[in-house]
Amino acid sequence: MITYEVNAAPTKQELTELYDSVGWSIYTKDPVKLEDAVSASLYLVTAHDGNKLVGLARVVGDGFTIIYLQDILVAPDYQRRGLGRELFSRVFEPYENVRQKVLMTDDDPAQLSFYKSMGFKQTGELDSPLNVFVKFD
Picking from 3, 4, 2, the residue whose alpha carbon sits closest to that of residue 90 is 4
Percent of the chain scoring above 70 in pLDDT: 100
Picking from 52, 71, 38, 76, the residue whose alpha carbon sits closest to that of residue 3 is 52
What's the Cα-to-Cα distance from 29 to each of 16, 34, 70, 131, rounded to whole Å?
Answer: 9, 9, 18, 31
Is the per-residue pLDDT at 37 higher than 90?
yes
Is residue 130 in a domain?
no
Q: If you count them, how many residues does the chain have?
A: 137
Is residue 135 in a domain?
no
Amino acid making up residue 66: I
Is residue 66 in a domain?
yes
What's the Cα-to-Cα distance from 66 to each of 41, 103, 132, rounded to whole Å?
Answer: 13, 11, 15
Range of 121's domain?
2-125
Is residue 7 in a domain?
yes
Is residue 64 in a domain?
yes
Is residue 30 in a domain?
yes
More confident residue, 133 or 54: 54
Beta-strand runs (E) in the chain: 2-6, 43-49, 52-61, 66-74, 100-103
Q: Give the CATH number of the domain where residue 39 resides.
A: 3.40.630.30
Does the model's pTM come out above 0.75? yes
Number of domains in the chain: 1
Which residues fall within 8 angstroms of residue 126, CB to CB, at 6 or more apart?
none
Is residue 132 in a domain?
no
What's the Cα-to-Cα distance from 99 to each of 7, 15, 74, 102, rounded to whole Å?
Answer: 22, 30, 26, 10
* Tens-place pLDDT, residues 83-135: 999 999 999 999 999 999 999 988 888 888 899 999 998 888 888 878 888 88
